[in-house]
Amino acid sequence: MIEPPPPSPATPEDQVAALAASVRGIDPAFAVASADLHLRLTKPRGSLGLLERIGAQLSTLARQVPPPIPEPAAVVVFAADHGVVAEGVTPWPQVVTAQMVTTACSGGAAISVLARGVGASLLVVDVGVVTALAPHPNLVDRRVRHGTGNIRIEPAMTPAEAAAAIRIGYDTAVRLATEGVGLLVGGEMGIGNTTAAAALIASTTGRPTAEVTGRGTGIDDVMLAHKITVIDDALERAGNRLAPLDRLVELGGLEIAALAGWYLGAAARSVPVIVDGVIALAAACVAVDLAPAARETMIAGHRSTEPGAAAALEWLGLEPVLDLGMRLGEGSGAALAVPIVRAAAAIMNEMATFDDAGIDGPS
């Protein structure tokens, strides 16, 4: 069940650096052309707000004005378990990760409903669940190891394992892009993963642990205080000034590493990718730390109420499309943003210009 990384003579660091190097910069000329088109559409200047900014981003990525409608959309949920649950950071037993994967595959998870609602496909990729999972057409078994180590006392994974998980995410995004997918949404499942995400965000942003640690599935004050202690211990053990790959090795999760690779793959193919949830944002920080231009491909879908999400969004410099007070994970907030991203492109393709419509200008 454990799949080794693709054979390569290079070190894990070199493997990841090669993926990061595949991300190229953008050409701002298409954002200028996008703004010019928006001025000619039959509406007051700037009146579509964020839709105009998304339209410029889609134009830049597609190198085309108007940009193609970003469809079809594909949602991929990466799932893995976390050794740190041994520290009592969540009331949920670890088996729930596998149960939620099964629920997602059979169409009953929140992300299943929301993906279906916006016409997106859904795939679950197991990169490190502990519990055995029955085969399912919507489930891809790419288990790198059976859950991470307990980050309070040991590294989450080896550098080779982190590189392998990154590669799985990268290849998944590249494969979907090759198949013609126009919009990517990454999600995650993993009991305990808000602990790993908070540790990564604290390490990336330098913010105090208490500022970036939230209640996850809804823990009480006592458990929250304990969670912060556990994360502080992990950060102290891991040390300061970690390189992005080392950060995943020491504090990460396998689904987080896969998501980091997913963002690099999306960026390498210039496919817009919607980011949502504190775990996905922790992964996005790693991706941008590895390849700063990866940020140009990202659209923040939703402002999670988890405090680490706000810190990561600020660090990334991203303004979310939605703010619905959600904190469910799975990519749920990102899926809800899909119609709005599509609308930003549709406006540019389908609205009449003042010339088309023969509309009199202002006096």
Least separation in angstroms between residue 47's CB and a copy of itself is 4
* Interface segment toward a copy of itself; rule CB under 8 A; list 26-34, 48-56, 136-144, 148-156: 48-56
Strand partners of residue 141: 126
Q: Residue 108 interacts with a copy of itself (CB under 8 A)?
A: yes
Alpha helices in the chain (DSSP H): 12-21, 29-40, 50-62, 95-105, 110-117, 159-178, 193-205, 209-212, 221-238, 244-251, 254-268, 278-290, 307-316, 332-350, 354-357
Of positions 109, 165, 231, 260, contacts a copy of itself by CB under 8 A: 109
Q: Residue 137 interacts with a copy of itself (CB under 8 A)?
A: no
Q: Classify residue 239 by its DSSP letter.
A: -
Which residues are CB-neighbours of 67 under 8 A, at least 6 positions away?
34, 55, 58, 59, 61, 345, 348
> Which candidate, 241, 240, 217, places its Cα nearest to that of 327?
217
Least separation in angstroms between residue 320's CB and a copy of itself is 10
Which residue out of 71, 188, 296, 330 is catalytically annotated? 330
Binding mask 335-354 for a copy of itself (x = CB under 8 A): -x--xx-xx--xx--xxx--
CB-count exposure of residue 131 (10 Å: 0-12, 13-18, 19+): middle
Q: Residue 221 interacts with a copy of itself (CB under 8 A)?
A: no
Q: Residue 2 interacts with a copy of itself (CB under 8 A)?
A: no
Nearer to a copy of itself, 15 or 332 (CB): 332
- Chain positions 278 to 317 lying near a copy of itself, rule: CB under 8 A, are 305
Q: Is 330 a catalytic residue?
A: yes
Classified as helix, coil or strand, 50 is helix
Total interface residues for a copy of itself by CB under 8 A: 62
Q: Residue 37 interacts with a copy of itself (CB under 8 A)?
A: no
185 conformational bin, left if phi > 0, alpha if psi -120 to 50, beta if neither:
beta
Could you check whether the bond before residue 72 is cis, i.e. omega within 30 degrees of 0?
A: yes
- Which active-site residues does the annotation give? 330
Which spans of this chain sit near a copy of itself (rule: CB under 8 A)?
Answer: 41-51, 90-93, 95-96, 99-100, 102-103, 106-110, 112-114, 116-118, 216-218, 305, 321-328, 332, 336, 339-340, 342-343, 346-347, 350-352, 356-360, 362-363
